[in-house]
Amino acid sequence: MVLVLALGDLHVPHRASDLPAKFKSMLVPGKIQHIICTGNLCIKEVHDYLKSLCPDLHITRGEYDEDARYPETKTLTIGQFKLGLCHGHQVVPWGDLDSLAMLQRQLDVDILVTGHTHQFKAYKHEGGVVINPGSATGAYSSVTYDVNPSFVLMDIDGLRVVVYVYELIDGEVKVDKIDFKKTATMHA
């Protein structure tokens, strides 16, 4: 039972001042084992805050990140799953699922986590699953102002992943969950 927090596109301080209070009250240290962040934090303070939640932090570079040392893509293995991380502004057209599927095949991962569109998505194709945790602060994107703050918490348990989606809609936190299992065919 490994808990992995996936979030990104916070755009602090340029487009948002902080995470919503309701999200912050839920995110306490000690519960989460890994954090994967799609990028666009943008400043060190956010990095430090995430580090305080969990020491195992993985970040990829978004186009507005001030720290230039984050990698463009990252892969890691958690339990039985290989996860890939990329901000997503590099993949054109932005948010296009076929292009993201290509990236996924390139990185050779079961789950690809990308951002940039500030819209939550969880999509399955033959190569695996693509998850977009959206924007954790609800910052406006290059495409739209209508953004609900959201992030994702994955519970990886053996060959099964339960994805909990946390969204702030009209001031209330709504939680949904998505179940999927890794099969032998998912990986050529």
Partner 1 sequence: MRKKPPPSPAPAPAARAAARAVPEWLNSPLWSASTPSAAPDPYGADLSPPPPPPPKPPPPPSYEQAVGSSRRVEEEEDEEEAGGGAALRAHLLADFKLALSKKLVNMGELRRLACLGVPDGGAGVRPLVWKLLLGYLPTERAFWPHELEKKRSQYSAYKDEFLLNPSEKIRRFEELKLLRKKELNTDNIGLLPRSKVTNEEHPLSFGKSSLWNQYFQESEILEQIDRDVKRTHPEMPFFSAKTNQESLRRILIIFSKLNPTIRYVQGMNEVLAPLFYVFKNDPDPSNSASAEADTFFCFVELLSGFKDNYCKHLDNSEVGIRSTLSKLSQLLKRHDEELWRHMEITTKVYPQYYAFRWITLLLTMEFSFNVCIHIWDAILGDPEGPPDTLLRICCAMLILVRRRLLAGDFTANIQLLQHYPSTNIDHLLHIANRLRGSVAS
Instruction: Write out the residues near partner 1 by the rule CB under 8 A.
Output: 1, 3, 26-28, 30-31, 121-126, 129, 153, 155, 157, 160, 162-166, 175-181, 183, 185
Extract the tokens encoding 168: 């702030």
DSSP letters spanning 34-57 = EEEE-S--BSHHHHHHHHHH-S-E
Closest separation in Å from C-beta 33 to partner 1: 11
Q: Which is nearer to partner 1, 67 or 126 (CB)?
A: 126
Closest separation in Å from C-beta 181 to partner 1: 5
Q: Which amino acid is at 171?
A: G
Question: Smallest Cα–Cα separation from 137: which of 14, 26, 15, 19?
Answer: 19
Q: Which is nearer to partner 1, 48 or 126 (CB)?
A: 126
Question: Smallest Cα–Cα separation from 27: which of 172, 151, 160, 112?
Answer: 151
Closest separation in Å from C-beta 14 to partner 1: 27
Q: Which is nearer to partner 1, 170 or 179 (CB)?
A: 179
Closest separation in Å from C-beta 185 to partner 1: 7
* Phi and psi at residue 102, to the nearest 5°: -65, -45
Q: Which is nearer to partner 1, 132 or 137 (CB)?
A: 132
Neighbours of 170 (CB within 10 A): 6
Q: Which is nearer to partner 1, 26 or 43 (CB)?
A: 26
Task: Decide: 107 and 134 in contact? Cβ < 8 Å.
Answer: no
Q: Which is nearer to partner 1, 42 or 109 (CB)?
A: 109
Distance between alpha carbon 161 and the CA centroid of its chain, in Å?
Answer: 15
Closest separation in Å from C-beta 67 to partner 1: 27
Closest separation in Å from C-beta 182 to partner 1: 9
